[in-house]
A and B are shown apart, each in its own frame.
Chain A
Amino acid sequence: MTGDRGSITGTPGVEHKRGRLKSDQFSGLLLLALALYVGWQNRAYPIGTLSEPGPGYLPLLLVIFLGAMGLLVALWGARSAPLAAMKWTEATRAVIILGACGAATLGLERIGYRLTVIALLVFLLIVVERRRPLPVALVAFGFSLGSFYVVGDLLHVPLPRSPWGF
């Protein structure tokens, strides 16, 4: 799959720049941006004094450290692989899997553990993995009911139930 490449092929200028940008330069700059963002958020907390450091003191030191490391990774990143050469063959599938897990999380306390797990397994095995329905149904029901019995009933871990008690 073409992953992130597909999103920018229509703009040759961007593609040219992206072709020159190295993977470590890109990731280092991302870390620097993250440090700047956290530093900006940290304005809300008092820094205090050296003898009485406040809640914003260590976060400030840490964003400076992270920003410096990000900058150094970017500066030393000229010899890393080009960003455009990175392969994201599994990215689409990874996004779908994460999305399915996100939907399952939304459903977990609404429809209960067992129904959520059945729905998640059926989606992943039939839609993503294209497996045959009968084995999928056996795995989904078996895993859902079995894991609920072991974790919920035997180990007494409270797991969410559906509004219908299932």
Chain B
Amino acid sequence: MLGFSVALQPSILVYAFVGCLVGTLVGMMPGLGPLAGISLLLPATFGLNPIIAVVLLAGVYYGAMYGGSTTSILLRIPGEAASVMTCVDGYAMTQNGRAGPALAIAAIGSFIAGTLGVVGLMLLAPTLAEFALRFGPPEYTALLLMGLFILAYMSGGSMLKTLAMAGLGLILGMIGIDVMSGYTRFNFGVIELGDGVGIVPVAVGLFGVSEILLAAGGPAAQKVQQPKLRDLIPSREEFRLSVGPIARGSLLGFLIGIIPGSAHIISSFVSYGLERRLSRHPERFGKGAIEGVAGPESANNAAASGAFVPMLALGIPTSPVTAVMIAAIMVHGVLPGPMLIQQQPELFWGFVASMYVGNVVLLILNLPMVGLFVNLLRIPYSYLYPCILCFCILGTYSVANSLVDVWILLVMGGIGYVLRKFGYDLAPVALGLVLAPMLELSLRQSLAMSAGDYGIFVQRPIAAVMFALGAVLLLLALKPLVFKGKDWREQLM
């Protein structure tokens, strides 16, 4: 009730609506994902109170999850990486003249999954936060390392490449003043680097700018279908076929969302593979099966809610987006973590309740107004990408009014472009960058506690269990590499 008394205040409702609207638009534009959208709005939240700031930014996040499906279904262009799988059957449905039902099921599935995800967040986050109060430096070290191992295991690509990218991100996180000794490391004489490399220029560069560089010179915009409201209603059979995928996608997405990495992307891939395996007619997939839209869309929205569990309960980001959101909250002097629920209950419960409100707002926005939003897709990409680039520069510069940040953005854009050409996943870089200071502090504190004995990590039960789990996952991930067998990811796809 505390949450709803906060979330239903008119000012919060307005900001939730603005966040959802901006998120939907941002999600529809290729190259401008939730991260770039959040980064753009970040400086504008500095003058707001922390509840409004987090409600606004969260609205952009799950709004982008919704919005990404529209371009996937109508144009076969994923507005957001998590909507890649929706392209396959969503676009096939459009070609079969069923664009309306595909959009409707995507919106309904997203609404149900988003709402169930918030229920999960409400139940799980306080329990996890209470448990995390027992954590000391060794447990945090184990948790962070386990997170990176899980990331390597869940990654759709090469485990070695994923681990290498996590290492690269951790090294980037070493730049700046060492808090324990006061040494300035790897700043190459640039004073601004003393504060370290910010997550916003790195993440927007790696994901936003590199996407634009890759798409440069691509084909011109296609003709866009503009579905009418009456065409949106799915048939009874389409509803029946979608129930199971939505339920499974919601559960799967939420669970994967808690895990570090590009959870919302992975969850949509896993959900699509699962639905195809469970289907009595797997041959329909790729030709317009509505289950191929319902499952992945539900999964990526549930994952967006799941990602907030470790962010709010442990203060640990599991994705670049939640890392930026943590930065946004910390600007206001609020520290996410186990004490948040006790010390700032109105912020925690207000945020949770605002997510229920946000999901309703998104359903209202996405169904009747889809025809209106589609007009955005008529803008030729050759006009769109220069404006997106300007947004990226503007958003990055305005975080700290620093030109060095803009240079970092451009360098990261170039590096991201090259790494993507070579098939590297970039999410671990951003994640490593954010986790590096926490990992270094907890590792050095652990070693100081144990007088240099690494045995501390196996003597403490919680840390030992986490390390054991991490080691098992690492071995499982290594198995196909050594024995040249098919791993579970290939079997699902």
Instruction: Give me the interface of A with B, judged by CB distance under 8 Å.
Output: 23-24, 26-28, 31, 34, 38, 41, 45-46, 49-59, 62-63, 65-66, 69-70, 72-73, 76, 80, 86, 88-90, 93-94, 97-98, 101-102, 104-105, 108-109, 113, 117, 120-121, 124-125, 129, 131, 135, 139, 143, 147, 151, 155-159
Contacts and interface: CB of A to CB of B under 8 A. Distances in A.
A57 B413 CA distance: 29
A129 B382 CA distance: 6
B406 interface: yes
Given A51-B452, A70-B164, A76-B160, A89 B171 contact: no
B230 to A, nearest CB: 35
B393 A90 contact: no
B407 interface: yes
B161 interface: yes
B386 to A, nearest CB: 4
Contacts of A41: 186
A73 B447 contact: no
Contacts, number: 169
Given A105-B393, A143-B387, A151 B410 contact: no
10 closest Cβ pairs, A-B complex: A50-B452, A51-B452, A69-B164, A94-B213, A66-B167, A55-B178, A155-B44, A124-B386, A55-B183, A129-B382
Contacts of A147: 390-391, 394
A102 B390 contact: no
Contacts of B387: 121, 139, 143
Nearest to A142: B387
A100 to B, nearest CB: 9
Interface of B: 43-44, 47, 158, 160-161, 163-164, 167-168, 170-171, 174, 178, 180-181, 183, 185-186, 209, 212-218, 382-383, 385-387, 389-391, 393-394, 397-398, 401, 403, 406-407, 410, 413-414, 417, 419, 421-424, 439-440, 443-444, 447-448, 450-454, 481
Determine chain B's interface SS by DSSP, over half rule. Answer: helix
Contacts of A104: 393
18 contacts: A31-B164, A56-B185, A57-B444, A58-B174, A59-B174, A66-B167, A66-B168, A73-B158, A90-B215, A101-B413, A102-B410, A104-B393, A105-B410, A108-B403, A117-B390, A117-B394, A157-B44, A157-B398
A108 B406 contact: yes
Contacts of B170: 58, 62
Nearest to B422: A27
Given A24-B422, A97-B213, A139-B387, A38 B186 contact: yes
Contact of B389 (A28, A57, A101): A101
A50 B216 contact: no
B180 A55 contact: yes
A69 B167 contact: yes
A73 B164 contact: yes
Contact of A54 (B43, B160, B181): B181
B398 A58 contact: no
A93 B217 contact: yes
B448 A52 contact: yes
Contact of A98 (B186, B413, B423, B452): B413
A108 B183 CA distance: 32
A46 B164 CA distance: 25
A117 B385 CA distance: 13
Given A27-B424, A98-B213, A69 B390 contact: no
B390 A121 contact: yes
A66 B473 CA distance: 20
Given A23-B422, A117-B390, 19 more contacts: A31-B168, A38-B171, A54-B181, A55-B185, A62-B170, A66-B164, A69-B164, A72-B160, A76-B160, A90-B217, A90-B218, A93-B216, A94-B417, A101-B209, A101-B389, A101-B410, A108-B397, A131-B383, A156-B44
Contacts of A27: 419, 422, 424
Nearest to A154: B44
